Copies of this chain bind each other. A is one copy, B any other.
Amino acid sequence: MTDAAPTGEITGRRRRSGAATIYDIAELAGVNPSTVSRALNQPGRVSAKTEEKIRKAAADLNFHANPMARALPTGRTHTLAVVVADITNPMVFGVIRGAERAASQAGFTLVIAESQESGSLEAGTIDNIAPSVDGIVLATSRLPDEEILRLAQRKTIVTLNREVDGIPSVISDPAPGVSALVAHLADLGHRAIAYLGGPSRSWISGRRWEALMHAARERGVAVFEIGPNSPTLTGGEAAFERAHASGATAVVAYNDLMAIGLMRAAKAAGVSVPDDLSVVGFDDVLGDLLSPSLTSVHADLTGMGTRSVARLLAQLGANGSHEDAGPITTELVIRESTGPSPR
């Protein structure tokens, strides 16, 4: 009698969690674990019959490869990160949504990290997550260029609305929307436009201002910048005084949040929007909810999220490289906050 043959005891490999491993599959299918690995990852490497058998066993056991174990030898984690300055900024929601979708479609997991508008915190956050992700989208980075370049040496990086030499980026080109915006305001009789700038570290704020200047010059409209400001409700409120004093009949804010803050301050001061003052935002994330609803330069934020992840995946050599080059376009959405110039 073979008392070395146990009745029903543990096979020697202790089960930590309920998850099935390739060893379980191998046993069930009667093959070597390495054969299981090949069958599942390298199509054609094993015979069709064996592969079929293994796939069936995997399905029976509801097998999901442990991402950690897989990441160790390959160095690829199948995880991407989006780093944002401020999670509560509605602009990032759309980006995150698009990124999440593109990532999960490619079998990648998305991690969100917040740097709370602080450059040093951002660097620390990135250091923390870097080892466990394959690539990073810097959505609203406040880091200096050289720091981004340094990071890019260690990790695949894509920037959003930020141009750094040699780093792939996804940019929403403000020109089309701004051009339509200035035309719209000029048609309404406005002759002086104020721009409420965003944070000085924001690359895209500068681009928006440039586009505005350019379009205004072409139309013969005066523009001037007021700023920098905090890209928040409070920032917009705080800037109202100066904007109003400037004599501008239309104010273009760096983003919707600031525009809303401005409208609020205007209301408190008894200034009517749009009768006394026209207000415009950027990003078009909230304009629809307000009353008066907000005219805004719309960008396809979801598309930007999707595309930034696609760029990342392309760099990683992960998927069909349908190099969708070129900047993302913007368009004007006219709502109630813009009206004829009072003058």
Q: Are A109 and B128 in contact (CB under 8 A)?
A: yes
**How far is B67's CA from A66's CA once the two chains are assembled, in angstroms?**
14
* Assembly stoichiometry (copies): 2
Q: Which residues of B contact A112 (CB under 8 A)?
A: 96, 100, 110-112
Q: Which residues of B contact A131 (CB under 8 A)?
A: 19, 64-68
- Select which of B67, B93, B291 is within 8 A of A290 by beta carbon: B291
Find the residue from A66, A125, A233 having the highest chain B CB count within 10 A: A66
- Select which of B18, B77, B93 is within 8 A of A87 by beta carbon: B93
The 8 A CB mask of A122-141 against B (1 = contact, 0 = none) is: 00010111111000000000
Q: Are B66 and A69 in contact (CB under 8 A)?
A: no
**How far is B90's CA from A94's CA once the two chains are assembled, in angstroms?**
12
Q: Are A77 and B88 in contact (CB under 8 A)?
A: no
**How far is B154's CA from A18's CA once the two chains are assembled, in angstroms?**
7
Q: Are A267 and B291 in contact (CB under 8 A)?
A: yes
A4 at the interface (CB under 8 A from B): no
SS class of chain A's interface: helix, strand, loop or mixed?
A: helix
Find the residue from A77, A127, A131 having the highest chain B CB count within 10 A: A131
Q: Which residues of B contact A88 (CB under 8 A)?
A: 93-94, 97
From known contacts A19-B131, A88-B93, infer whether A111 and B110 are also in contact, taking CB-CB under 8 Å.
yes
A180 at the interface (CB under 8 A from B): no
The 8 A CB mask of A71-83 against B (1 = contact, 0 = none) is: 1100101010000
Which residues from 3 to 28 on chain A have a C-beta closer than 8 Å to any C-beta of chain B? 16-19
The 8 A CB mask of A147-169 against B (1 = contact, 0 = none) is: 00000011000000000000000
Q: Which residues of B contact A290 (CB under 8 A)?
A: 289-291
Q: Are B17 and A75 in contact (CB under 8 A)?
A: yes
Q: Which residues of B contact A97 (CB under 8 A)?
A: 87-88, 114
**How far is B96's CA from A111's CA once the two chains are assembled, in angstroms?**
12
Find the residue from A18, A130, A154, A291 having the highest chain B CB count within 10 A: A291
**How far, in Å, is A27 (CB) from chain B's closest CB?**
20
**How far is B263's CA from A194's CA once the two chains are assembled, in angstroms?**
31
A238 at the interface (CB under 8 A from B): no
Q: Are B128 and A64 in contact (CB under 8 A)?
A: yes
A264 at the interface (CB under 8 A from B): yes
A104 at the interface (CB under 8 A from B): yes
**How far, in Å, is A233 (CB) from chain B's closest CB?**
7
Q: Which residues of B contact A288 (CB under 8 A)?
A: 233
**How far, in Å, is A29 (CB) from chain B's closest CB?**
21
A181 at the interface (CB under 8 A from B): no
Minimum-distance CB pairs A-B, first 4:
A68-B71, A67-B132, A68-B68, A112-B112
Residues of A that sit less than 8 Å from B by CB: 16-19, 62, 64-69, 71-72, 75, 77, 79, 87-88, 90, 93-94, 96-97, 100-101, 104, 109-114, 125, 127-132, 153-154, 233, 260, 263-264, 267, 286, 288-292
| 5 A-B residue pairs with CB within 8 Å | A17-B154, A65-B131, A90-B90, A101-B114, A291-B292
